[in-house]
Structure 1
Amino acid sequence: MTFYNLTYLENHQQANTIFSYALIIILGGLMLLMLVQYTRHRLETKYRDLGIIFSLLLLIIIGLQYTKLESLNTQKSQSSQMVPFVKAVAKDRHVKTGEVVVNSTTLTDGIIVRIKDKDYRVNLSADSNNYTLTRAHVIDHRVIIKKK
């Protein structure tokens, strides 16, 4: 079972999309290059065809990037609720925030919270404004704690 500490939850909200943006810039540059070549050599249609191919690839990559961005925003809004939850559990149990780990990056009903090697199941209210912790016992005791 994988657990996440507060540091991981705070840093997890940042997404690395440099590769996708670099690919979009490269494809845009290649598309412009093919446009220039096509205007210089009107009789050679290979530049026009390459320009169309690069344009279609650029549109596909932009569409995929937009879809990924939407899902990241949804995940970010859900995971932003987790940081105050971990802090509240630590405060209520009178422990340091580093001693509280959770098995999910999003705040949902039924997640497992580990406090000082004891596991608790979270029962959230309908509006997620309050919670109760019920002692739980996990079957698989092999635990991986992601810290960064």
Structure 2
Amino acid sequence: MTFYSYDYLKGGQVNWAIIKIVLVSVLALAFLVFIIKYSRNKWDLKYRDLSIILGTLLLLAAAIQYSDYTNLRTASVQSGQLSVVIEKSAKKLDISPHSIAINDTSRNNDMLIKTPKGYYSLVFNSSGSEFLLVKVDLYQPDITVIQ
């Protein structure tokens, strides 16, 4: 069973987003360079062909970037909700939120948290605004914590 630490949920996957933005920026710059070279040398068709190829790659990369951005925004909202759940759980159990790990990255009713005091199940009310912590004993747990 995989658990995700509080720090992992707060950090998100920002590094990949930065790399993708840099890639799109490099493609856009190369596209502009080839467009300028083609406009200066109308008879040299290799710059036109390279501009078309890079323009197509730029559109594809921008579409992928937009899709990833919407997915990242959704994941950020969900991990923010889980961060609040972890902080409230830590306060109820009187421990540090950094010592808690949760077994899912999106909120549902079958969630477990791992604390130094043991494992707890989270039972949410119908509106999802409050939850109940129920101590559970796991039978032969095979736990991996992602930091």
> TM class, shorter-chain normalised?
0.7 to 0.9
- Using the TM superposition, name which of 72-81 and 115-124 deviates more: 115-124
Shift of residue 126, structure 1, vs aligned partner: 2.2
Unmatched segments (≥5 aa) in structure 2: none
Query: Counterpart of 1:107?
Result: 107
Matching residue's letter, 1:94: D
How far apart, in 2, do the equivalents of 1:34 and 1:94 lie? Answer: 61
Contact 1:101/1:114 (8 A) holds in 2: yes
Shift of residue 134, structure 1, vs aligned partner: 3.2
Question: Compared with structure 1, are the counterparts of its residues 85 and 13 closer, same or farther at alpha carbon in structure 2 (3 Å cutoff)?
Answer: farther
Q: Which structure's residues are more often helix, by fraction?
A: 2
Shift of residue 15, structure 1, vs aligned partner: 4.8
How far apart, in 2, do the equivalents of 1:114 and 1:143 lie? Answer: 9
How far apart, in 2, do the equivalents of 1:96 and 1:47 lie? Answer: 59
- Using the TM superposition, name which of 119-128 and 79-88 deviates more: 119-128
Matching residue's letter, 1:102: I
Query: Counterpart of 1:20?
Result: 20
How far apart, in 2, do the equivalents of 1:13 and 1:30 lie? Answer: 27
Pair 1:66 & 2:72 matched = no
TM-score between the two structures when normalised by the length of structure 1: 0.85
Contact 2:6/2:99 (8 A) holds in 1: no
Deviation beyond 4 Å, 4+ runs, structure 1: none
Unmatched segments (≥5 aa) in structure 1: none
Shift of residue 122, structure 1, vs aligned partner: 1.6
Matching residue's letter, 2:126: A
Contact 2:111/2:122 (8 A) holds in 1: yes
Using the aligned pairs only, state the percent identity: 24
SS in 1 for 2:16: coil
TM-score between the two structures when normalised by the length of structure 2: 0.86
Question: Compared with structure 1, are the counterparts of its residues 140 and 42 closer, same or farther at alpha carbon in structure 2 (3 Å cutoff)?
Answer: farther
